[in-house]
Structure 1
């Protein structure tokens, strides 16, 4: 068999932490997943990424892989020594058999039907099906209120003859109130079927937000730009502002300038610890598009004697 450098596949150093490995894996899955990638080898690349993470994402299998792979280069032929696995607890796996299973079942998780990874029983080797990772984009309003969405995934699987084919799988997804970008929705048992009676894998959908010109998100805090008239900013005013949770009445303090933030506590994403909503004031000038408008601007220029560049010494 050939040695595969899983660290190179995920683009991480051998000293990478478990969190760094997970982040690299998620990034690559989003990049190459067949549902979104135009890469001609997206299917094969995704399988290779899953295979690497199946090993490096498990502390025990990673330790075994590191121990076995010392001194080997990618593509180099090698055969593990008969007792190489004796120092690791693989629940009954036998040396070379475990390593063969590890690489033969590309991209499949190390869960087995009651026997652990490599477990052998009367029905032979049982292993859980591969998990499927994809992304789902939602609107900010969905994160505030929750929603139900229908998604269709193209799922690779093997037919009766062993060939890899793809099929459409349609699922109804419940978006819980308070969810934030980066969180994953798990659909248990909706992934690839198991091997020889093993349980099916899961589907993990990573939540992403659709772009919105009005809102910006930082954690559970939401930022919204709010246009105000010059007289509202100068004199103060009570204005109605549309927000993801509905319209609210807010008070613009007298003398406000563009960029001033008004904080509405607890009106951000309604997570376990709700965020805040920050309204960023943007003073918008009316156009001097009529004689009367020009007269008013000329009167202001004459009567106010205002120099906006005074603070910078101009």
Structure 2
């Protein structure tokens, strides 16, 4: 997928004001319109220019695009960053954008940000209008879902300054994370969205929950997974092993003759809720290193004592 430099397409600098972007678009539209232009590829350039303008004319979608563009280098394929909109606030009421005959990159940009941004189509406001709803993704720790928490979150909100340039403004909010929340669920903060017009109420802020990558656990819905390393004799003979869980630790009985990959369930130890999830322990076997003569001799004796061919099924 090739990144498209929308600023270059419109012939403006990256720090251009919104008025300069609008002026450049109008000038190119008169020049490249297929009904009047005799330039080669006028129709394709006209569509490409329209795609660029739909993104750059709106401060919020422009800020989204600028964030992605920071991860691109000229001459290289564009690789989108993970969670490109995490911690970033966008306007809109859930509408979906349409680029028409958009490029691959335009379609990618629409898929990533169309739901949040709801590109502006010149909607008129009355003298008393409710403010825009805003959306953002916020990352929390898995442990917050188990216990609940109060967290300060920082969001970046694109605004147009007095000179007409798009800048980002930091916001810090105190948010109550309810116990039992799952990834993908949304918190609604009433009145924390865009300001209303006249006597109109402020919009709401919707925060989509994302779990930070955890060094130990994996999450699927309300179920949680953890790998448990075992010594060969623990797996073969059985053992009682302490297993760390997000709420502390539990003693788990390992059945004799357990194989690597076996899954043991701890019922009700997943993310709490009306239907509490389970915690699954996946067994792995770790071999002691044969890094001393004593360890090597122990492996030789084991080889002689237990005739075993792990490849009989091949």
Band of TM-score, shorter chain: 0.5 to 0.7
Separation in structure 1 between the aligned mates of residue 237 and residue 211 of structure 2, nearest angstrom? 37
Question: Does the CA-based 8 Å contact 2:93-2:133 persist in structure 1?
Answer: no
Residue 210 (structure 2) pairs with residue 208 (structure 1)? yes
Q: What SS is found at the alignment partner of 1:224?
A: strand
Residue 182 of structure 1 is matched in structure 2 by 184
Within-5 A mapping of 1:146-161: 146-157=148-159
Select the residue among 248, 251, 261 that pairs with 1:259: 261
Question: Does the CA-based 8 Å contact 2:91-2:135 persist in structure 1?
Answer: no
Range that drifts further, 263-272 or 145-154? 145-154
Question: Does the CA-based 8 Å contact 1:137-1:209 persist in structure 2?
Answer: yes
Task: Tell me by how many angstroms 1:163 deviates.
Answer: 7.8
Residue 67 (structure 2) pairs with residue 37 (structure 1)? yes
Residue 300 (structure 2) pairs with residue 309 (structure 1)? no
Structure 1 unaligned regions, length at least 5: 1-7, 10-29, 58-72, 75-101, 107-117, 119-123
Question: Does the CA-based 8 Å contact 2:128-2:196 persist in structure 1?
Answer: yes
Separation in structure 1 between the aligned mates of residue 162 and residue 199 of structure 2, nearest angstrom? 15
Residue 221 of structure 1 is matched in structure 2 by 223
Between Structure 1 and Structure 2, how many residues are aligned? 226
Select the residue among 94, 102, 105 that pairs with 2:123: 105
Question: Does the CA-based 8 Å contact 1:157-1:192 persist in structure 2?
Answer: no
Q: What SS is found at the alignment partner of 2:228?
A: strand
Residue 241 (structure 2) pairs with residue 239 (structure 1)? yes
Select the residue among 252, 255, 269 that pairs with 1:250: 252
Separation in structure 2 between the aligned mates of residue 251 and residue 257 of structure 1, nearest angstrom? 14
Within-5 A mapping of 1:1-314: 34=64, 37-39=67-69, 53-54=94-95, 103-105=121-123, 125-157=127-159, 166-312=168-314
Question: Does the CA-based 8 Å contact 2:93-2:134 persist in structure 1?
Answer: no
Separation in structure 1 between the aligned mates of residue 121 and residue 61 of structure 2, nearest angstrom? 23
Task: Tell me by how many angstroms 1:36 deviates.
Answer: 9.2
Separation in structure 2 between the aligned mates of residue 31 and residue 206 of structure 1, nearest angstrom? 18
Separation in structure 2 between the aligned mates of residue 32 and residue 176 of structure 1, nearest angstrom? 33
Task: Tell me by how many angstroms 1:174 deviates.
Answer: 1.1
Residues 50-104 of structure 1: per-residue CA shift (max 9 Å, x gap): 56844x69xxxxxxxxxxxxxxx89xxxxxxxxxxxxxxxxxxxxxxxxxxx943
Separation in structure 2 between the aligned mates of residue 153 and residue 35 of structure 1, nearest angstrom? 17
Residues 52/153 of structure 1: CA separation in 2 closer, same or farther (3 Å cut): closer
- Quote the RMSD (CA, aligned, Å): 3.7
Q: What SS is found at the alignment partner of 1:135?
A: strand
Residues 250/51 of structure 1: CA separation in 2 closer, same or farther (3 Å cut): closer
Range that drifts further, 125-134 or 293-302? 125-134
Task: Tell me by how many angstroms 1:177 deviates.
Answer: 1.0
Separation in structure 1 between the aligned mates of residue 300 and residue 250 of structure 2, nearest angstrom? 36
Question: Does the CA-based 8 Å contact 2:131-2:202 persist in structure 1?
Answer: yes
Question: Does the CA-based 8 Å contact 2:217-2:225 persist in structure 1?
Answer: yes
Task: Tell me by how many angstroms 1:245 deviates.
Answer: 1.3
Residues 308/159 of structure 1: CA separation in 2 closer, same or farther (3 Å cut): closer
TM-score by length of 2: 0.62
Q: What SS is found at the alignment partner of 1:310?
A: coil
Task: Tell me by how many angstroms 1:292 deviates.
Answer: 1.2
Question: Does the CA-based 8 Å contact 1:216-1:224 persist in structure 2?
Answer: yes
